[in-house]
Amino acid sequence: MTEIIVLEKMFSDEKYKVVKALQAGAVIVYPTDTIYGLGVDAFNVKAVRNLLDLKGRPAGKPVSVLYPDVAAVLRDFTHLNDYQQKAVQTLLPGKITLILPTDPHSQFPKEIAADNTLGVRVIDLEPLNCILRQFPHPITTTSVNPAGQPPARSVAEILSYFGDQISLILACDKATDSVPSTLVKVGGKSLEIVRPGAVTAAEIEEKMK
């Protein structure tokens, strides 16, 4: 049976349950500053494959990852050049997913980093980030829906899609935003907006000045 915990009212033992679920390779659902996300340990190949099977996601379609803060991103992406580091430090946290080049020796499974790039998010939601800091790895962040269906925006919709295939749901008192994050590919010296979203191109350009 799926356990439901309200994020804003969590006790310390419930935070421990979230960490233990991720350590066990379980699939959890959590709120973000846009839409709900499906999360597993991003370094756990079996858990990532289970997640893709759960969604019925086509092979080769990327899955982004979520970090608790910018410092954690830069610890795993030490190979970024100065421009790419500036993009990470300037645009995150926020309603933006940055597509970053991965290191050939990174721990990310090929299922989520097949083309040597990876979508990376840091969100402005401290109750969740506080939990993620207690887990040593990034987690996946992908919309809560079977492939081809609209993203779930409530606990009822999450359960209607996946039922008890989800180990734990972190519910949020505040409704999630209906607009997804803006997807930005970070090149060696420039940015490319791959998918428009919650943050406009003009806002991104202004931040990077």
Token output for 40: 């597993």
Q: Minimal CA–CA distance to 91: which of 120, 113, 62?
A: 120
Distance CA 209, CA 40 (A): 35
SS3 181: coil
Token output for 54: 């759960």
* Class of the domain covering 3-208: alpha beta
Distance CA 25, CA 91 (A): 30
**Between vectors from CA 32 to CA 203 and to CA 45, what angle results, nearest 5°?**
110
Q: What is the pTM of this model?
A: 0.94
Q: What is the pLDDT along the chain (209 residues), one digit of tens a residue?
A: 899 999 888 777 888 999 999 999 999 999 998 889 999 999 999 999 999 999 998 767 889 999 999 999 999 999 999 999 999 999 999 999 999 999 988 899 988 987 899 999 999 999 999 999 999 999 999 999 998 999 998 999 999 999 999 999 999 866 566 688 999 999 999 999 999 999 999 999 999 98
Alpha carbon of 184 to those of 19, 44, 83, 118: distances in Å?
29, 25, 14, 11
